[in-house]
Every structure is written in structure tokens, then in C-alpha cells.
Amino acid sequence: MSENRSRRPFADAVPSSTGRLLRPIFMVLLASIGGFHATGSPFIGVVMFFFAMIGALADVFANIILVPPFLQNGDVNSGLCMDKAKLPTYWDSATICGPSAFNYRYSEVEIPMRGKFLRGWLIRPAGASKAIIILSHGAGRDRRTWMRHCKFLIANGYTCLTYDSRNHGISDRYGAAGTSLGVLEWHDVAAVTRWAKESSPVGTKIVLMGTSTGASSSIIAAAADELCASSVSCVVAENPFTSPGELAAALTDGPGMRTMVCRGNATAYAALLPIRVAVTAAVKAQVGARL
């Protein structure tokens, strides 16, 4: 267990977007110059530079999607990040502090997952529990995402199990830093479900609830894991997506791209089509490299 707890700071393990951009640009310049000298045609050099630049930019944007700048994954001994500047602006002070700030009845839990540990809070209602709800957060967040929701759930007699997925919060790092957008995280949901089933009285109902990546992970776990399929009563999925590629396409083809980036200019939006396609391909490739 000790080797799981002695890890480098998260920032040391994440390649910066600047570094990811400058390295391929340097290679692009060399290739462009080489292409020009080999063919004697500046056109070939320009074309090579253009396509390589698209690839470099797509790689940077894909890295931002998979390793969001607001993602925090610290050492278990240092605890969850308490720096408001690094956390969602809509999280109030109570949310940042966790269940004690809401006077919830809770206990710390460590859940084994393929030789590593996921960490979370088991929050209990005052009376008898109707079911245990496993709450899975989205990419770049942590277990505190659900603090405000727990108030309603425990008031209605439900036990809440909210945890940090791999590479998030203070759960152990597993493989490459960041998220795979559900492709691997569904194993976390399955591990938490197994722990909940083994730790609860026989016959306890189990519900999966997730948002974004957590929602997709919950759906996959309920469909792909035999124990989840036989143990879970239902899945509550808020804004799930069907694949990393679909999410990348939505992010690069949504209102933000049309209004904030292109300022409503249809020509600019059309001109960015190669980059939008390349970003989707880069996300798929980077997720595939994590498998």
C-alpha cells in the first residue's frame, strides 16, 4: 500500500500543452525545410507545414480535453485540494470542505481496484437506508461534486457513496495522467459496486448515479460487468456521451466554437473543419494509447 501513496505531484506527471505544441512544431519546421530542399518546391513545404500544424494543434486540444487544467490529483497524505483558485467557481466553501461542513454522518473509505485504491466518503442517512447510491463525478472533478445532492438524497433515506475516480482527487494514479472519458473509468464503477455489495447487508439495493464521464462509466459498468448487471437496480445518468469521439466532436462543434471562437462567422467555422476533425481523431488516438 505504501507504494501507492508515495507519488510525484500531479503537475510533474502531466506534459504541458506548450511542450506538446513546441516539439511537433520543431519537427514540422525540419520536415518542411527538408521537403523544400528535396523537391525544390516551396509549395510542398507549405503543405507539409499546414497539415503538421493541424496535427500539432489537435494534439494540444486533445490533451486539454483528457487532462483538463482544473484536474487535481494529489497525494493521499496531503488530502483533497482546498485552493479555491484551482477548483470550480460554483463550489462554495462548504462544498470544498466536504461532508463535515454539511454535518453529514460519514466515514472515509478505501476501495481496492486492481492493486490500487479509490478513496471516498460513505454518507449515511439518520434512519434506515432504502438503498446505497454510488455517485460518480465527471472528468476533472472529484467526490465533492455531489455534496449538494447528498443533502436531498440522505434526507430521503438513501446512503451515498461518493468517490474519486482514478487519477482524480486523492485516489491512486492508474496509468497515464488524466481521464479516458469512461473507457477505463467504468472499471472504477464496477470496483465500487463490488465493494458496496460486499460491505452492505444482503438484499441492499444499489443504484448508480453519474454525471458526464461518470454517467457514461456507470452505463458501461451496468452493461459490461456481470456483477453490476446482477446487482444494480437502476442507473441515473446525467448528460452521458456514447464515446470519447462523440464528446470531442460535440466540444468542437458546439455553441462555444461557433460563437466564442468563430464569433458567429460561418466562413471561419467552415475553415476550422480540418482542426475539428483532427481533434476528434486525436482524442480517439490518445484514449486508445491508454488502453
What confidence tens digit (pLDDT) does each residue in 247-260 have?
Answer: 888 888 777 677 76
200-248: pLDDT as tens digits: 998 999 999 999 999 999 999 999 999 999 999 999 999 999 999 988 8
Average pLDDT over residues 171-192: 95
Q: 205: Cβ–Cβ under 8 A, 6 or more apart, which residues?
A: 130, 131, 132, 233
Q: Which residues of 108-137 are buried (b: 16+ CB within 10 A; e: fewer)?
A: ebbbebeebbbbbbbbbbeeebeebbbbbb
Name the pTM for this structure: 0.84
Q: Delineate the domains of the chain, giving CATH numbers in brackets.
A: 10-66+263-290 (no CATH), 87-241 (3.40.50.1820)
Residues, the chain: 291
Ramachandran category for residue 206: left, alpha or beta (phi over 0 → left; psi -120 to 50 → alpha): beta
Q: Which of 6-20, 47-61, 111-125, 138-152 has the lowest mean pLDDT?
A: 6-20
What one-character DSSP code corresponds to residue 229?
A: H
- CB 290, CB 176: distance < 8 Å: yes
Q: How far is CA 67 from the centre of its chain?
A: 8
Share of the chain above pLDDT 90, in %: 55
- For residue 119, is pLDDT > 50? yes
List the beta strands (DSSP E) in the chain. 105-113, 116-124, 131-136, 158-163, 206-211, 232-238
